[in-house]
């Protein structure tokens, strides 16, 4: 399986390799560790260790404490109506994230079904790489990735 080095997930994988000091090959990788790195280890490393937004480092503890303390702060300043407004914003955000996740999952399922029928050529978009990962996990054989600079 060929993946271009210009895709966002390859850039995340390479950033994680450089940041952790791994000496893995820059030309090949296995798909299963690649996906675990892109989906789990790189975001966790960014949140726990890097956590930078521009030049400012924001630790994970600050994110969590702010999310938990924000309704209490608004309750102290504006009364319970302020706290309920923050909680309603949390509810709207969680519903929007659930809807976005369902749209992504539905488009992913349609793309997988179209690939099985043979209407879509396999490219290195993240949905196609994810589909290959699911197939690899299901068959217990993860394919090798070759990084290319082709456009």
Amino acid 102: pLDDT: 84
Which sequence spans correspond to the domains of the chain?
2-148
41 or 116: which leads in pLDDT: 41
Instruction: Give the integer Cα–Cα distance in Å for 93 and 56.
Output: 25
For the entire predicted model, the pTM comes to: 0.56
Residue 140 predicted with pLDDT over 80: yes
Amino acid 138: pLDDT: 82
Range scoring the smallest mean pLDDT among 53-62, 83-92, 140-149:
53-62
Amino acid 53: pLDDT: 63
Q: Are 70 and 63 in contact (CB under 8 A)?
A: no
Amino acid 120: pLDDT: 46
Check residue 1 and report its DSSP letter: -
Instruction: Give the integer Cα–Cα distance in Å for 42 and 34.
Output: 10
In degrees and rounded to multiples of 5, residue 137 shows phi and psi of -65, -40
Instruction: Quote the mean pLDDT of the chain.
Output: 78
Tens of pLDDT, residue by residue over 109-127, are 777 777 677 654 445 677 7
Range scoring the smallest mean pLDDT among 33-37, 69-73, 112-116:
112-116
């Amino acid at each position: 399986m060929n993946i271009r080095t210009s895709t966002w997930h390859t850039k995340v994988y390479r950033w994680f390799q450089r940041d952790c000091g791994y000496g893995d090959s820059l030309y090949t990788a296995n798909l299963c560790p690649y996906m675990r790195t892109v989906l789990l280890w790189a975001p966790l490393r960014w949140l726990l260790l890097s956590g930078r937004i521009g030049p400012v480092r924001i630790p994970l503890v600050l994110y969590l404490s702010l999310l938990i303390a924000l309704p209490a702060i608004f309750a102290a300043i504006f009364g319970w109506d302020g706290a309920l407004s923050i909680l309603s914003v949390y509810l709207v955000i969680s519903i929007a994230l659930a809807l976005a996740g369902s749209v992504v999952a539905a488009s992913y399922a349609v793309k997988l079904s179209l690939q099985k029928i043979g209407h879509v050529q396999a490219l290195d978009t993240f949905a196609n790489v994810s589909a290959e990962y699911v197939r690899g996990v299901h068959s217990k054989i993860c394919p090798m990735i070759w990084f290319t600079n082709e456009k």
